[in-house]
A = this chain, B = another copy of it.
Amino acid sequence: MARRQDVTRALAEWIVGCEPAHIPASVQDQGVRSFVNWIGCAVGGASHETVDRALDGITQFSGPAKATVLGRTERLDVLHAALLNGISSHVLDYDDTHLKTIIHPAGPVASAALAVAELKNLSGADLLHAMIIGIEVECRIGNSVYPEHYDVGWHITGTTGVFGAAAAVSKLLKLDVQKTVWALSLAATQSSNLREMFGTMTKSFHPGRAAQNGATAAFMAQAGFDSAEAGIEGRRGFAAILSTKQDYGEILDTLGKSWEAELNSYKPFACGIVIHPAIDAGIQIHDEHKIKPEDVETIELLAHPFVLELTGKTEPKTGLESKFSIFHSAAYALARGDGSPTAFTDEAATDPQIVALRKRVKVTTDKSVHEDEVTYTVKTKDGKTIKKYIEHAIGSVHKPLSNEQLNVKFTKQSSLVIGEARTKALLDLAWKIKDVAKASDLAAASLPK
């Protein structure tokens, strides 16, 4: 299985050779859904304090304002726009997920590709094509090292996203095979990002920086800045150093034949994906039973150990922290029937009724429970027991959001930032990405009026 030879070069050859006609319609359709979901999330996150702070930090260094900060009036140079859009698209933890690896694929890739497409005056079809290629590369590299790589503590969206961004931008710049090899190796040497940052603004910095670093890699390779031949599979390369697992068959076998990009999924809830089953259950019980928070004796959850590992914060003090608290999320879902961005604000995290209820949440973990599965049991003070078993959470590949549900999600978050009229226009245009002559029109449609 593990083939050491020429992984980086084989990927580069595939990137250079892949044409739109090689990509099945079902994969292209999923690519459009990924784009729609991504740009909605970027606009939805655009007014978050995290984005304000990032702009305050870096605007003073921005070069020529050739690219759009989605959902805002600022324009930045291409590399910094990639950073900012990667941040805003992830800050609500509401973006897409490749469930096999928990990679959030679009953030690093689309943030880089759209900014470059604006710079180079490329079409929506060019953008979509490069984005699908980038996501494919990113998720395959993820598969080759998951789960060992993630388990030890790497934030895999950042570590693999930089490859996806480099691949997409290399494609948009029409780099040859050698320069694409260099771009991938320049990506490899920048691969980083630690899970220690979860719950802070720096988590969303990761897909942004991956976008920026991957784009930088491609522009430097274009200029003839050389790099290693085997940045991914070399003895001192990415896979050997950042993972104890290196399965290069996951990268090369079936490349161009089966598509990881088709497996993308979209979150119905604005938080860590592993909490989704519990929120799904909590909202269902809320809707069906209308239990008052003060009547709850305990909420008992039976879940995969990952749930506590990743989202075990018992006393979240901010909205960002609350996205990593199974206790907050399960309580809020039951009390308010909500898992959208409004469930994860600073106000929600410190709501006394929620704080009281989350202390009553008990989590039992069991490795035999699947990551996408939960048993959610409410015991009331008057002795009733209500149990809800979730086999697959809404939004997973088994129960994907429909296009109509994506529209509702998009509209709900985007309207708060750019208003309903502009949201509708952006949404309509985003679905038509393949027919948009200038990708920059997509960016322009995201601006507040």
Q: Hey, which bits of chain A sit against chain B, CB under 8 A?
A: 50, 53-54, 56-58, 60-64, 77-80, 152-155, 158, 182, 185-186, 188-198, 200-202, 205-206, 209, 216, 219-228, 230-231, 234-238, 240-241
Instruction: Report whether A227 and B153 are in contact in the complex, using a CB–CB cutoff of 8 Å.
Output: no
Instruction: Report whether A225 and B57 are in contact in the complex, using a CB–CB cutoff of 8 Å.
Output: yes
* Bound: A159/B54 CA distance, A: 23
Q: Of B62, B63, B222, B241, which is within 8 A of A152 by CB?
A: B241
Tell me how far the C-beta of A30 lies from the nearest C-beta in chain B, rounded to whole angstroms: 30
Q: Of B189, B190, B197, B220, which is within 8 A of A57 by CB?
A: B220
Tell me how far the C-beta of A111 lies from the nearest C-beta in chain B, rounded to whole angstroms: 15
Q: Of B64, B196, B230, which is within 8 A of A234 by CB?
A: B196
* B residues in contact with A64, CB < 8 Å: 60-61
Instruction: Report whether A189 and B194 are in contact in the complex, using a CB–CB cutoff of 8 Å.
Output: yes
Tell me how far the C-beta of A244 lies from the nearest C-beta in chain B, rounded to whole angstroms: 11
* B residues in contact with A56, CB < 8 Å: 223-225
Tell me how far the C-beta of A388 lies from the nearest C-beta in chain B, rounded to whole angstroms: 31
* B residues in contact with A152, CB < 8 Å: 241
- A-B residue pairs, 6 tightest by C-beta: A57-B223, A153-B236, A56-B223, A57-B220, A192-B192, A196-B236
Pick 8 A–B contacts, CB within 8 A, sort by A.
A54-B223, A56-B223, A153-B237, A158-B189, A196-B235, A200-B227, A202-B226, A205-B225
Q: Of B58, B79, B194, which is within 8 A of A241 by CB?
A: B194
* Bound: A235/B310 CA distance, A: 12
Q: Of B197, B227, B231, which is within 8 A of A227 by CB?
A: B197
Tell me how far the C-beta of A339 lies from the nearest C-beta in chain B, rounded to whole angstroms: 24
Instruction: Report whether B194 and A225 are in contact in the complex, using a CB–CB cutoff of 8 Å.
Output: no
* Bound: A228/B202 CA distance, A: 8
Tell me how far the C-beta of A10 lies from the nearest C-beta in chain B, rounded to whole angstroms: 17
Q: Of B193, B194, B228, B240, which is within 8 A of A197 by CB?
A: B228
Q: Of B54, B197, B237, which is within 8 A of A220 by CB?
A: B54
* Bound: A269/B50 CA distance, A: 47
Instruction: Report whether B189 and A191 are in contact in the complex, using a CB–CB cutoff of 8 Å.
Output: no
Instruction: Report whether A196 and B231 are in contact in the complex, using a CB–CB cutoff of 8 Å.
Output: yes
* B residues in contact with A225, CB < 8 Å: 50, 53-54, 56-57, 201-202, 205
* B residues in contact with A185, CB < 8 Å: 196-197, 200, 202
Q: A189-B202, A201-B226 are in contact. List 12 more A-B contacts (CB 8 A).
A: A53-B223, A53-B224, A56-B224, A57-B219, A61-B219, A153-B241, A194-B234, A194-B236, A196-B230, A196-B234, A196-B237, A202-B227
Tell me how far the C-beta of A394 lies from the nearest C-beta in chain B, rounded to whole angstroms: 29
* Bound: A60/B173 CA distance, A: 15
* Bound: A241/B63 CA distance, A: 34
* B residues in contact with A228, CB < 8 Å: 194, 196-197, 200, 202
